[in-house]
Amino acid sequence: MRIGGLASGMDIDQLVNKLMTAERMPLDKMQQDKTLLEWKRDSFREINTKLSELDNLMLDMKLSKTYNPKTISSSMEGAVTATGTPSTSNGTFEMKVSQLASNAINVSQNELGIDPTKTLEEQGKLPGEKIVFQTYNENGEAVNHEVEVKADDTLNSLLKRVTDQDNNVRAFYDSGTDKVIMETTRTGDYNPNGNEITFAAGSFFDSVLQMDQANEKGGQNAKFEYNNSGLEMESKTNSYKMNGITFNFTDTTGNESAKMTVTNDVDASVEKIMKFVDKYNEVVEMINDVQKEERHRDYPPLTEEQKEEMSEDEIERWEERAKSGILRGETSLTSGLFDMRQSWYSSVETSGEYNSLTQIGITTSSNYLDGGKLIVDEDDLRAALEENPADVQKLFANSSEGSDRGIINRLEDSLDRTMNTIGERAGTATSTTLESYTLGKRMKDLNTRISAFEDRLTQVETRYWNQFTAMEKAISRMNNQSAQLMSQFGGGMM
């Protein structure tokens, strides 16, 4: 039992707290060391996130469409548009559209007088065990579709079952007109000899749904003529692919033709390359900045007790200085940055017009404070992409392993090495165990030492209290003995 100064008049709690403050100093140092490791780990991971963002942009930088995208303009954008591939030849051509592809549709001739929410059976409209209709495949052959009928079916539930089948048909009831609409979900003429949706006379479709096959509309192919050839072509959809070009039809062109022009979309290429360069420069700046930060060793991480005595602004300013320079001198960063720079400087044996970035307007900054950022002359880059996009692609994205390996592939190699090195040092966001990375192992060791030291502090505090308690008891006994003596002396004098 702890006795808090009743006999001595001393503030034992305060004395023990002061003694423990001194005893706790090594623990505070270990906790500060752990906080520094956590800050360092988080800073490493933040850099790895930026490197990962750069890595994700590399996929686009390997694709031919980045260096040779095609844009196809149309004199009748509201009727015909087209898209090309990098292999599409530049030039002009015409497209005349006389008919759009449409889906087939049939509607009840008369109002049905059916409550779609009540069962067909109670309204006397229930068909047999199933209803049957046909659609047609690519070869014009009839395909039968059977839909099960249940005793508790309403008109809505039965039509939903028709729609849910894999039959290229949807059917639904329209309450505004009291009619059923049944249509194909695809455009085109699949049955050259008649309707796209057929059913037997006297079936549920004509007897209950009031449909007449003769009223079916649509179900036609798109019809068009290419380059005034006189040859009418057809497509079951309003899209047609020819010679690496995909045409899309949204309206007919009347007696005229839509004039199409294929050109290189240099603006799109420049935009993608500049986006990549900007991200690379962002990574370079981030790594350089952490290497140039001043280290304030007289600003260690704050303990919880220190934070309690400070305002939030004071804590923020202190920790800003405490974190400054935490990654300064880290070789995994300096070596990684040097490795990435070398990827840009080295020449590429492409056997083409370009073998270095300087030939297409990309150089490194002459200001050493920029740390190797890239500078782009957009006019030179644009000219290279206009004149020879294929050789620009070779310079960037040759996938071979020798001296002709493209710059982006080399950069990706160095980036992967850097990210792996940082991962070994600081783990990743998904790392679940401290043992899987170097800083984590040190943190685990500190956790063990902190836990052991906390146990020791508990024992020390108990010892202090035992000593003060013993002192209080001794003083209390002395006080009692003194009182007894005084009492005896006082009694004799009387």
Confidence (pLDDT) at 490 = 63
The string of pLDDT tens digits covering residues 208-244 is 999 999 999 999 999 999 998 888 999 999 999 998 8
* pLDDT over 80 at 286, yes or no: yes
Supply the pLDDT for residue 46.
Answer: 93
How confident is the model over 379-404, as a mean pLDDT?
90
How far is 388 from 385, CA to CA, in rounded Å?
6
Q: Which of 159-168, 191-200, 270-279, 483-492 has the lowest mean pLDDT?
A: 483-492
- Give the model's pLDDT for residue 313: 94
Predicted local confidence at residue 493, as pLDDT: 47
d(CA 114, CA 210): 12
Helix (H) or strand (E) holding 144: strand 142-148
Taking the alpha carbons of 460, 461, 462, 466 in that order, is the dihedral positive or negative?
positive
Q: What is the pLDDT of residue 472?
A: 72
Portion of the chain with pLDDT greater than 90, in percent? 64
- Strand ranges (DSSP E) for 354-457? 362-364, 374-376
The whole-number average pLDDT for the span 4-8 is 53
Measured distance CA(182)–CA(350) in Å, rounded? 60
Spatial contact of 9 and 476, defined as CB atoms under 8 Å apart: no
SS3 347: coil
* 79, 253 contact by CB (below 8 A): yes
CB 386 within 8 A of CB 379: no
Highest mean pLDDT, choosing among 11-15, 327-331, 475-479: 327-331
User: Mind listing the pLDDT tens digit for each residue in 60-106?
Assistant: 899 888 998 889 999 999 999 999 888 888 899 999 999 999 999 99
pLDDT in the model for residue 17 = 74
Q: Check residue 158 and give its pLDDT.
A: 95
Shortest CA distance to 12 belongs to which of 465, 417, 372? 465
Domain ranges of the chain: 12-65+268-293+328-440, 72-99+222-264, 110-215
pTM of whole model > 0.75?
A: no
Q: What is the DSSP letter of 368?
A: G
C-alpha angle with apex 221: 219 to 222, nearest 5 degrees? 135
| Residue 340 one-letter amino acid | M
Residue 182: partners with Cβ closer than 8 Å, 6 or more residues away: 105, 106, 107, 162, 169, 170, 171, 197, 205, 209, 211
- Report d(CA 181, CA 109) in Å as an integer: 10
* 441-480 tens-digit pLDDT: 999 999 889 888 888 888 887 787 777 777 777 777 787 7
